[in-house]
Structure formats: C-alpha cells, structure tokens
C-alpha cells in the first residue's frame, strides 16, 4: 500500500494571532487626537481673525481745554518762576547765633535786623578802645596846657635874645623846649586818631555781628538756628554760611527755554499769556523782558525771561508754568473767558444731521454723538458728549464702526 504525504502544518497553533480589539482602540484614539488637533487649530484661527485680522490702524487725539486767546498764540513753552533779586543772607563775622527774628514767609524791609551773633568780645574791644581814646584826649589836654606855657616862655626869651639880654645858648634851650612840646602835642593828636580808628573798627566788628536785610523782600528759607556757629563761606563742617534766603517777590519772572528753531518768532516786549500749573484757571499778562544772548548747546535752546504785568501772592518762586507768545495783547474779555473743551475738526464724522466721534476704549471704537460750538482755528468746541482727556480717533475712515477693533499708531 503506497504511503501518502500528509501536511500537518495546518494543525499547528498560531500564537501570533492579532488582537482585533486592541487595534480598534488604537484607531479610535488616533481619530480623537486628530479631531482635538483640528479643533485647536480652528480656535486659534478664530481668535486671530477676531483680534487681529479685523483691527484697523488709526491715529488718535485727545480732547482738552484751551482758552480763546490760544488762537493768537504763536508758540508755547514751559518754564519756572525765578526771582531776579535773591540773596542768601550771611554774616561778615564769625560767631554763635544768639537771635533770629524771622521765619519763612516773613516780609522784611531794607536794613531791618534779621539776626545777631554773639558780640561780647567785640563790645569789650570797643570799650577798651573808648577808654584809650579818653586817655589820649586827656593827655592832649595836658600837653596843650604845657605847650601854652612853654610857648609864652619861648616868646619872652626870643624877645630878650633879640635885645641881647640872654645868651644864645639860653635861647636855644627855650626853643628846644618849645619844639619838643609842639611834637608831643602832634603825637597826642596822632594817638587820638589811632584810638578813634580803633573805636570805629570795633563798631564795625559789632555791626558785622548784626545781620540786616539788604533789600525789601520775603524770607524763603531759614538756613540756621539759634545756637549754631555762623561763619563766612561756612569754613567748618559744623558752621553755617547763610542764616536765611530771601527774595524780592516783585522781581519774579518766568524763565522758559525756547528751541533755536523758533526763536525768530520771539522779540522783546512781545505780549504773552502765563498760566501756572498750580492754578490752571488763572491767567496772567506778561511781556518778553529779555532774550538771553547765548544758547544751551546740550538742549539747543535759548533762555527767555518773561515779566509779569500783573502779579499776586499766588505766584511763588520755583513754580512751573506755561507761557504762550502772542501776536497781540489779550483784551479783558478774552482774559476773563473760561476755557473751552476742544477737539480737532478732523476728528468729527458727519452722519446725517449728527456729528459723531469714535472714542477709543480698550482698543475698541465707541461711537459717540457730540454737540459742537465755536470753531477755534483748526479746532472746534465740544459742548456735550466728551470730557477732558478722552482719546478719540483722528481722521476716522469710512470702514470704522461702533465696537470696531483698533490698532493705535
């Protein structure tokens, strides 16, 4: 019987059989990841499109108050109030401060005693010089009495000598006594002059311990207190050089730097309007008093000094202020006028009978209807709808609408 070849490979157990459930889970996870990725891409695209793709580039301006006189302004500059007469009052002598009669803000007159230094030593020197002067005067009186007697005796002996009654030697002795007495009188007179000079020097030393106001003014600062040592030039670390600092408040002027490019617009006696930063509602008339004939190399500016035509107690040294250089003096009507809230004419968009502007809030346009008033050069008064400091779009485009996203240039 013939043998047949039988294939038994199909009877072997296949241990590498694929797990269909595991493959299904992997496919499902892959699909979910792809969907999440696509969703994230869509969100990012939407955010980008919402915040950036629709944003419009714009320029902005600010609503602010101006005065009607601003229409006559050629140039505006900033500066500080500076007194033209200011002094740090010190003593010519050295000593301890024993009296200080003023405080900050006190008004003083020229020659008024502000302070005194300790002066017992100089008073003692004065008394000594006065005593020596009295002694010299008494000595002169005695010498004059002696001189009168010697002079009479010499005159008698001179007449006797001429008649040959006395000898020449006796005459010479009388003449020598006369000349010696005359010399003693001259010496006594010179001594008196010396002691008078000593008295005058002692009085000057006493005066140097008295500190007086050099001009009418107001005390700005008190630089020393009673008990401190005051010395010229503050020669010691423990001594004071000045007792007080004072200024003539009628000499206050505004000093402002003007760019070299615009200095040709300014001339002396040109009318000005001054506004203190501390009191923006108050305006002062002024004129250009002086244009300093030198420039600041670092800042490329030239210093101008503006004189107040009217001044009050609110104007203080070192205050900051703004000055407008005008083409003509300010009339009283404009000086008393209140400021007006204005914006550039170019910021207004007309929609039918309405005038609107676009305020910028959180980089978005907010359509705002406004009421307008007087036109001031290239600006217009806003009577309703805005307040000072509001930022608005300048030259609004046609495509700008309410709540439009903006990019500020």
Residue 275: strand, helix, or coil: strand
Check if the beta carbon of residue 296 is closer than 8 Å to that of residue 353. no
Which tokens go with 90? 């010190």
Give the pLDDT confidence of 360-371 residue by residue, as tens digits: 888 888 888 888
Give the pLDDT confidence of 361-409 residue by residue, as tens digits: 888 888 888 888 888 778 888 988 888 889 998 888 877 878 878 777 7
What is the rounded distance in angstroms from the CA atom of residue 218 to the CA atom of residue 25?
Answer: 94
Which CATH topology does 77-84+249-329 take? Elongation Factor Tu (Ef-tu); domain 3 (2.40.30)
> Which letter, b or e, does each residue of 42-79 get, where b requires 16 or more Cβ atoms within 10 Å of its Cβ?
eeeeeeeeeeeeeeeebeebebeebbbbbebbebebeb
pLDDT mean over 174-182: 85
Give the pLDDT confidence of 257-284 residue by residue, as tens digits: 999 999 999 999 999 999 999 988 788 9
Categorise residue 111: left if φ over 0, alpha if ψ from -120 to 50, beta otherwise.
left
- The CATH number assigned to the domain with range 86-118+210-247 reads 2.40.50.100
Residue 379: strand, helix, or coil: strand
What is the model's pLDDT at position 46? 66
Q: How far apart are the first and last CA of the chain?
A: 105
Q: What is the DSSP letter of 232?
A: G
What is the rounded distance in angstroms from the CA atom of residue 131 to the CA atom of residue 364?
Answer: 94
Which CATH topology does 339-408 take? 2.40.420
- Same CATH fold, 339-408 and 86-118+210-247? no
Listed by start position, the domains of the chain span 77-84+249-329, 86-118+210-247, 120-208, 339-408
What is the rounded distance in angstroms from the CA atom of residue 180 to the CA atom of residue 143?
Answer: 10
What is the model's pLDDT at position 1? 44
Which tokens go with 99? 């009296």
pLDDT mean over 80-106: 90
Check if the beta carbon of residue 87 is closer than 8 Å to that of residue 245. yes
């Amino acid at each position: 019987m013939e043998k047949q070849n039988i294939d038994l490979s199909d009877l072997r157990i296949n241990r590498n059989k694929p797990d269909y459930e595991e493959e299904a889970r992997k496919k499902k996870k892959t699909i979910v990841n792809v969907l999440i990725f696509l969703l994230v891409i869509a969100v990012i695209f939407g955010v980008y499109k919402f915040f950036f793709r629709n944003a419009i580039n714009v320029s902005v301006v600010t609503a602010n108050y101006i005065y009607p006189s601003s229409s006559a302004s050629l140039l505006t500059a900033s500066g500080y109030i500076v007194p033209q007469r200011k002094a740090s009052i010190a003593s010519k002598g050295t000593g301890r401060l024993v009296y200080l009669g003023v405080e900050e803000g006190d008004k003083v007159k020229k020659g008024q005693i502000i302070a005194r230094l300790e002066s017992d030593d100089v008073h003692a020197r004065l008394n000594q010089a006065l005593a020596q002067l009295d002694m010299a005067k008494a000595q002169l009186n005695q010498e004059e009495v002696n001189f009168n007697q010697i002079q009479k005796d010499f005159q008698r002996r001179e007449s006797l000598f001429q008649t040959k009654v006395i000898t020449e030697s006796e005459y010479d002795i009388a003449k020598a006594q006369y000349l010696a007495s005359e010399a003693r009188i001259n010496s006594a007179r010179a001594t008196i002059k010396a002691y008078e000079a000593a008295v005058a020097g002692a009085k000057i030393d006493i005066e140097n311990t008295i500190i007086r106001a050099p001009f009418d003014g107001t005390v700005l600062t008190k630089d020393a207190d009673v008990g401190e040592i005051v010395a010229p030039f503050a020669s010691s670390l423990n001594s004071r050089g000045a007792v007080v600092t004072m200024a003539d408040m009628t000499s206050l002027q505004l000093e402002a730097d003007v760019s070299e490019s615009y200095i040709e617009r300014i001339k002396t006696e040109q009318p000005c309007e001054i506004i203190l930063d501390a009191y923006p509602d108050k305006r002062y008339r002024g004129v250009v008093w002086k244009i300093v004939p030198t420039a600041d190399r670092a800042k490329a500016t030239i210093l101008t000094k503006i004189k107040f035509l009217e001044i009050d107690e609110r104007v203080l040294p070192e205050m900051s202020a703004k000055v407008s250089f005008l083409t003509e003096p300010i009339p009283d009507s404009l000086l008393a006028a209140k400021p007006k809230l204005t914006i550039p004419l170019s910021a207004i968009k007309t929609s039918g009978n309405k005038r609107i502007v676009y305020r910028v809030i959180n980089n978005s346009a907010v359509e705002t209807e406004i009421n307008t008033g007087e036109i001031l050069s290239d600006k217009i008064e806003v009577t309703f709808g805005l307040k000072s400091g509001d930022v608005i779009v300048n030259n609004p485009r046609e495509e700008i609408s309410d709540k439009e996203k903006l990019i500020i240039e």
